[in-house]
Amino acid sequence: MLYITQEDYNIILEHCKKSLPNEACGLVAGIRKNGNKFIKKVYLMTNIDFNSKHFSMAPEEQFAVVKDIRANGYLLLGNFHSHPHSPAMPSSEDIRLAYDKGMDYMILSLINIDKPVLNVFNINRENGNVLFVPWNIVII
C-alpha cells in the first residue's frame, strides 16, 4: 500500500489543476515500512514540454530533488503526472518511458475536474506489465 497525507494529496491536486491545460508532473519521496510506502514529501516539477499530452522534467530540478531527498534521509518512491483529457491509466508512452520498475507511477486524471481520479501503478516496460498499486490517505 502507498500512503499519502491529505495535505500532500491536495498539493499534488492543486499543482495539476494550476498547470492546466498542460500536464503537470512531480516526484514523491518518503519511507518504506513493513512493506508499505509512506509519502513524506512531494516535489512539484516544471513540465518543460508545456504540453497537454506529454511531460518531461527539467534535469536540474531533478538533481536538486535527489539532493534534498538524500539530505532528508528519504527514498525516491515514485513520480506523478496529470492526464488533463484522458483516464488515469498509463499511456503507451508512459509505459515506454517507465524506466524504473521499482517506482510508483501516480497518474491523476482531470477529465472531470470536480472528480479527479488518482491511480498508482508499477510498470514493467520490458514486458508491458502494468499493475495497480493500492493507495490510501493516511492521517498523521
Residues of this chain that interact with Zn ion (CB under 5 A) are 91, 94
Nearest residue to Zn ion on Cβ basis: 94
Nearer to Zn ion, 52 or 91 (CB): 91
Nearer to Zn ion, 4 or 24 (CB): 24
Q: Are 80 and 12 in contact (CB under 8 A)?
A: yes
Nearer to Zn ion, 16 or 69 (CB): 16
Q: Are 110 and 20 in contact (CB under 8 A)?
A: yes
Q: How far is the CB of 12 from Zn ion (least distance, A)?
A: 14
Q: How far is the CB of 107 from Zn ion (least distance, A)?
A: 6
Q: How far is the CB of 77 from Zn ion (least distance, A)?
A: 18
Residue reference for cell 488518482: 118
Nearer to Zn ion, 62 or 91 (CB): 91
Q: How far is the CB of 23 from Zn ion (least distance, A)?
A: 7
CB-count exposure of residue 98 (10 Å: 0-12, 13-18, 19+): buried
